[in-house]
Amino acid sequence: MTVATRQAAWRDDAGNGWHEDLVWYAAAVHQMRLRTPQLEEFLLLLGEALEQDFPAALVDQMVTIAAQWSDPLSLGYQSQVHGTIVPVDQWPTIDGQRALWLECAHNHWFFLPWHRAYLLEFEAVAREHIEQLGGPASTWGLPYWNYSDYRDNPARLGLPLPLRGDTLPDDVTVPGVEPRPDGSLPNPLFNPVRLMQGDPDPGDDAWADPTTALQRPHYANQQDTGRVSFGGGVLENATNQALFHDRTREHGQVDVQPHGSVHVQVNGAMALFQTAGLDPVFWMHHCNVDRLWETFARDLGHGFPFTGAAGTGTAAHQSWTSRQFRFLQSDGTIRTWTAPDVLEVEELGYEYDSTAPPPLPPTPPPPAGSEIQPFGLDEPIPEPVAASEPFTLTAATDVPVTGGSGEDISVAAFAPDAEWLLRFEGIRSRRPAPTSFHVYLGLPADADASWDDSAHYVGLLSLFGVYEASRDDGSSPGDGQRRTLDATGQVRAQEATLRPFDTTVRLVPVDPDRDIAGAGLEVARLTLEFA
Amino acid sequence: VNDAVAVGAASVRSVVAASRLGAWRSRHPEWGLYTVAASGWSVLVVLQLADLWRRAEDPVPVVPGHAGHAGHRSRHTGHLGASGDVVASAGDTSALGLGPVVGHGLVVVAMVAVMAPLVAANVRFAALRSPRRNRRLVALSVTSGWAAVWVVGAAGLGVLAWLAVGLVGRPGAVVLATLVAVGWQWTGRKRRSLSRCHRVLAPPLAPRAARRAGRRHGRELGLSCLASCAPMMAIMVVAGHGPLVAAPLTGIAWYERRRRPHHDPARQETSVALGAAGAVACLLVAVGVL
C-alpha cells in the first residue's frame, strides 16, 4: 500500500505557500465546488444569517439550496455529513439510499476516531478528483494547518497563504480552474464569510494552543467524574443515538482547545457544525487535530484505549469496539468504520511529516486513583462548593462565585490531593459565539489579566457548538452546552489566599473587537468543584 | 477454625458487596426511580391478574355501572359504563376490594410510576450537580415536580377518554387514540417536546433554592413529557391499563428517548409500532381480554 504523507501548510522553505499538495488540494476542492449547486449563493445567505440571528426566511432559502447537494463527490454533500440544517425528510437519496448526514460525533470519546474516518472519506473523494485531473492521486495527502506549532514561528497562527484572497496569485495554476469573465482565476480555497482572513493578533495565541490537551493524563474519562481528558467522556452505550449525537456531554480537552477554539477564531462557516465543512480550512484544521492525536498517543506515549488488557470486557470496551461510523459512497453503498479500525495510520495509507509535540512544560502527575481502571472509572463525583448566579457575557466580566454560609475557609481545609475544577453549565447563545474567553480564577479586581499568569489562568472557554445546543426547534434540547476546566493547579498555587467559598472568576474575550453582545451569550451556572 | 475462616470470609464478602452497592448508589442517585417503576409494574400486573381471576370465577358479563363495581365495563357493547370507569381499568380494582376513588388513584399512580425511568437521566444529572447533602433532596424535588404534572395530566386524559368512549365505544376510542398518536409523531410540536425531555438542570447550592428549582425543572420536564407522550398514553387509558398494552407503549416511549427526533427515522419506526400496539389493544378490547 502506498503511504501518502500529509504535510504542514506552513513550511519554512523559500517557496512557502502554494506547495504542490496545496495546489492539488485546491484543484480537488474546485471540482467538489463545481458539483455543489448554488454554493456561492448559500455562503452569501449564511453571511447574512450570521449577522441576523438566523431569520426563518433566510434559513428556508438555505435549506432549499442545501437539499440539492446529493452528490457524494461534492463539497456540499461532504459538508452535510458533519451537520445539516436540512430537515431529515428533505434529505436527498442516492441510488435509493437516503443521505447519511448529520453524523458527526463531538463531546465524547468518539470525537477523534469519527473525525479520522471522516477525513479518510473526504481524502478519498479528493483523490478521485485529482486522479480525474491527471494528478498524483496515490501519493497525495491532505495538507494540515500547523497553527499548533506556532512557537517555532508565530506566522503559523495566520491562515495558510493559499486560503487567503478571492483570486489565485498570478504565478499559481490550479488544474481545472477556469478564468472568470474578467480574466481573474478564482481561488477555490477562499471563503468570504470567515471573520479571520489573514494574520491574527500574534500576542494572543491561546486559541491555537494544544498544551493543556497534550498534558492530560488519559485519553478518556468517565462521564460525571469531572476529570478532563484528552479525547472526551466515555459513552458506555454505543447504540444510544441520542447520546452519541448529544452536543451536551463532557468534552475532551482537544475537542475544546484547540479544536473548538480554532472553529470560533476562524468563524463564518466554520462557526457552525452544519456549514463548517464548506470552508476548505475545515479539512486542514481537522487534519491537524488528527495529527495531535498521533502526537498524544505515540510521541507522548499514551497509546490508544484498550491496547493493554485493562478495561477489556467492560461496557466501555464493548462500546468502543462496536460503535459504527457509516459513510455513504457515491455508488450508493455504505462504508463502515469502528474506532479500532482507525488507530494505525500507516495501515490506513497515510503518515504525517511530523508529529513531534510542541515544547511542553513539565506534566503534572495523573490524579491519585485515576489508574485504577483505564479512565479512572471509579473516581468520585466532584462536589460543588461555590456557584455563581446566571450571567451574560458581553465583554470582560468578573463573576462572583460563592457558597456555604460565608465561612472564611481556606483551601487548607480540603484534602491536599483534592482535584479542583470550574464547571460552566447551561451556556447558551442566539448566534454562534464570535470569540472564546480566557478564564482566570481568584484574580483580584484591580489586577490585570495575563494568560501567562499560571497561578490564576485556568484555560480557555471555547464555545463551538453552543449555538446549536441552544436551538429550541427540535434539533436540540435547547438548554445549551457545558464545559469543564481543570483548576487544580491554580487552586494549589493560590493555597494561601484563595477562599473557595468566596472567590471570583474573570472571563476575558480573546477577541474583544468582535460583536460579542450580539451573540447573546449567557451562562446558567458556574461552579467551583472539588473531588 | 475452618468455620470461623468461612464465616469471616463471608462477612468480608458481604461488606465488600455492601460497599460496592453503596458506591453504585452514590453514583446513581436516581436508583429509587427504578424501584418505583418496579412497584408500578407490580400493581398493574396484580390488578390484571385479579381481573382475570375474578372473571374466571364470575363469567357472567358485567352490567355497566352495576352496584359498586367501579371497575366494571360493558363487554357486551364495548361502551363506557355508567360508572364512568375508564381510568381504573387495569384489570378490575374492585376485585381487590378497592373503592372507585382509591382504585382510580392507584391505577393513575401505578401508570406514572412505570414511566419514572424515563426521567432518570434528568434526575441523575440534577442530583450529581449538587452538593452531597442536597442530592437526595434534589432528586426528590425533580421527580415530584415531574410526577405532579403527570398525575394531573393522567386525570385529564381520563376525562378525554371517558368522552371518547362515550361517543364511539371502547374499540372505536382505541382506534381514534391510535390514529391521533400516530399523527402526533409527525408534528413539529412532538419533535420539540421530545427534544426538551433531555433538558437538564444544574440547581443552586442552597437547599431551599435547590428544592424550588428542582420542582420547577421537574414540572417543565413533566409538561414536555406530557406534550410528547400524552397521545400514545391515551391509547393505554382507553384500552385499559393492562400490562399487555402498557409494556409496549412504555417501550416505545423509552425507545424514542434514545433516538434523535430531528434525524433518525424514529418517527416511522414509532408510528409503525404505535399502530401495531393500537391494533393489538383494539383486538384485546374487542374480545374482552381488556
ipTM metric = 0.90
Asked if B202 and A527 come within 8 Å (Cβ–Cβ), the reply is yes
Give the model's pLDDT for residue A332.
87
Chain position carrying cell 513539565:
A362
Structure confidence by residue, pLDDT tens digits, A383-424? 999 999 999 999 999 999 999 776 788 999 999 888 899 999
Asked if B258 and A474 come within 8 Å (Cβ–Cβ), the reply is no
Residue B61 has pLDDT above 90, yes or no: no
Give the model's pLDDT for residue B60.
54
Give the model's pLDDT for residue B93.
59
**First-to-last C-alpha distance (Å) of chain B:** 61
Q: Which residues pair with A350 in a beta bridge?
A: A4
Q: Which of A507, A379, A520 is nearest to A449 (CA)?
A: A507
Which of A343 and B9 is assigned the larger pLDDT? A343
Average of per-residue pLDDT across B20-47: 89
Determine contact, residues A323/A339, Cβ cutoff 8 Å. Answer: yes
Nearest residue of B to residue A474, measured between CA atoms = B192
Give the model's pLDDT for residue B67.
35
Q: Does A472 touch chain B (CB under 8 A)?
A: yes
Residue A263 has pLDDT above 70, yes or no: yes
The closest CB to that of A479, out of B27, B131, B200, belongs to B200
Distance CA A73, CA A365 (A): 47
Nearest residue of B to residue A523, measured between CA atoms = B202
Three cell numbers, residue A238:
454505543
Average of per-residue pLDDT across B12-31: 80
Give the model's pLDDT for residue A367.
66
% of chain B residues with pLDDT over 90: 51
Which of B76 and A456 is assigned the larger pLDDT? A456
Of the residues A103, A236, A525, A526, the best mutation for testing chain B's interface (the one with the most B CB atoms within 10 Å of its CB) is A525
Nearest residue of A to residue B193, measured between CA atoms = A474
- Reported as type and span, the H/E element at residue A352 is strand A350-352
Angle (nearest 5°) at CA A522 between A516 and A525: 145
Residue type, B258: R
Asked if B205 and A475 come within 8 Å (Cβ–Cβ), the reply is no
Of A339-348, A351-360, A375-384, B174-183, minimum mean pLDDT range = A375-384
| CB-count burial class (<10 Å; 0-12, 13-18, 19+) for A266 | buried
Give the confidence band of A371 by pLDDT, cuts at 50, 70, 90: low
Q: Does A243 touch chain B (CB under 8 A)?
A: yes
What b/e sequence results for B81-92 when a residue is b if at least 16 CB atoms lie within 10 Å of its CB, and e otherwise? bebbbbbbbbbb
Sign of CA dihedral A407, A409, A413, A417: positive
Give the model's pLDDT for residue B70.
36
The closest CB to that of A245, out of B26, B260, B265, belongs to B260
Residue type, A392: T
Asked if A524 and B202 come within 8 Å (Cβ–Cβ), the reply is yes
Give the model's pLDDT for residue B101.
75
* CA-to-CA separations, A350 to A113, A139, A140, A144, A150, in angstroms, rounded: 15, 9, 9, 13, 24
Asked if A474 and B23 come within 8 Å (Cβ–Cβ), the reply is no
Q: Which of B193, B200, B224 is nearest to B138 (CA)?
A: B200
Asked if A88 and B263 come within 8 Å (Cβ–Cβ), the reply is yes
Task: Calculate the average pLDDT of chain B.
Answer: 83
Distance CA A229, CA A375 (A): 9
Give the number of A-B residue pairs with CB atoms closer than 8 Å: 79
Asked if B202 and A386 come within 8 Å (Cβ–Cβ), the reply is no
> Which residues in chain B have their CB less than 8 angstroms from residue A250's CB?
none
Q: Does B20 touch chain A (CB under 8 A)?
A: no
Q: Does A248 touch chain B (CB under 8 A)?
A: yes
Give the confidence band of B1 by pLDDT, cuts at 50, 70, 90: low
The closest CB to that of B195, out of A239, A378, A477, belongs to A477
Distance CA A162, CA A16 (A): 10
Determine contact, residues B169/B81, Cβ cutoff 8 Å. Answer: no
The closest CB to that of A477, out of B188, B199, B258, belongs to B199
> Which residues in chain B have their CB less than 8 angstroms from residue A482's CB?
202
Distance CA A494, CA A91 (A): 54
Residue A490 has pLDDT above 90, yes or no: yes
Which of B84 and A92 is assigned the larger pLDDT? A92
The closest CB to that of B198, out of A242, A383, A387, belongs to A242
% of chain A residues with pLDDT over 90: 76
Distance CA B137, CA B204 (A): 12
Chain position carrying cell 494547518:
A145
Give the confidence band of A203 by pLDDT, cuts at 50, 70, 90: confident
Asked if A241 and B195 come within 8 Å (Cβ–Cβ), the reply is no
Give the model's pLDDT for residue B80.
40
* CA-to-CA separations, A325 to A273, A309, A446, A476, B196, in angstroms, rounded: 17, 25, 51, 21, 26
> Which residues in chain B have their CB less than 8 angstroms from residue A242's CB?
198, 257-260
Give the model's pLDDT for residue A323.
93
Asked if A381 and B27 come within 8 Å (Cβ–Cβ), the reply is yes
Q: Does B101 touch chain A (CB under 8 A)?
A: no
**First-to-last C-alpha distance (Å) of chain A:** 49
What letter does residue A202 receive in the DSSP assignment? T
Structure confidence by residue, pLDDT tens digits, A36-81? 999 999 999 999 999 988 999 999 999 999 999 999 999 999 999 9
Give the model's pLDDT for residue A254.
96
Determine contact, residues A50/A431, Cβ cutoff 8 Å. Answer: yes
Q: Does B13 touch chain A (CB under 8 A)?
A: no
Q: Which residues pair with A420 in a beta bridge?
A: A530
Residues 6+ apart with CB under 8 A from A440: A449, A453, A456, A457, A458, A505, A506, A507, A508
What is the reported pTM? Answer: 0.91
Determine contact, residues A414/A367, Cβ cutoff 8 Å. Answer: no
A253: left (phi over 0), alpha (psi -120 to 50) or beta: alpha
Which of A29 and B108 is assigned the larger pLDDT? A29
Give the confidence band of A15 by pLDDT, cuts at 50, 70, 90: low
Average of per-residue pLDDT across A1-15: 86
Q: Does B202 touch chain A (CB under 8 A)?
A: yes
Q: Does A381 touch chain B (CB under 8 A)?
A: yes
Of the residues A425, A428, A481, the best mutation for testing chain B's interface (the one with the most B CB atoms within 10 Å of its CB) is A425
C-alpha neighbours within 13 Å on the C-beta side of residue A192: 13
Give the model's pLDDT for residue A491.
97
Determine contact, residues A529/A421, Cβ cutoff 8 Å. Answer: yes
Give the model's pLDDT for residue A198.
86
Task: Calculate the average pLDDT of chain A.
Answer: 92
Give the confidence band of B193 by pLDDT, cuts at 50, 70, 90: very high
Asked if B194 and A474 come within 8 Å (Cβ–Cβ), the reply is yes
Q: How far B260 CA sits from the closest chain A CA (Å)?
A: 5
